[in-house]
Amino acid sequence: MSHSEMKLDFKITKILVAISSVLLIFAFLDLPYFYYQISRIVVSGTSFFLSYNFYLKKKAIGAVVMFLLAIIFNPIIPIYMNKDTWIIFDILAVIILVSAEKILSLLNKS
């Protein structure tokens, strides 16, 4: 992968994580169900993308963690929990996504 491709990939990663994090933060509000469906699609897609990036870097733990996050937020076979439980998962997901982005950033520099 060329240097310019790595920079583009990193920018895409940063944008996807930022969008997913904002969606998860606003999920604390009482919003229409459609919002949560969109959030699931975006967070799941971002998590799969990050999982693939960890896989390419041969970082199995990161790939598995992101894959599990994608499964939890998947829109095809949704997992149903009460609002309070989802708030905990949303907070954890933001922390995991931001951490994954930082780790991938460090891996790209090395």
Tens digits of pLDDT across the chain (110 residues): 555 455 557 789 999 999 999 999 999 999 999 999 999 999 999 999 999 999 999 999 999 999 999 999 999 999 999 999 999 999 999 999 999 999 999 988 76
| Contact by Cβ (8 Å): 60, 51 | no
Say which residue the tokens 């708030």 belong to: 87
Which residue range is the domain that position 74 belongs to?
3-109
Tally of domains in the chain: 1
Taking residue 54's Cβ as centre, other Cβ atoms within 10 Å add up to 22
In whole angstroms, what is the distance from residue 56 CA to residue 34 CA? 33
**Which residues, in sequence order, are CB contacts of 45 under 8 Å at separation 6+?**
16, 70
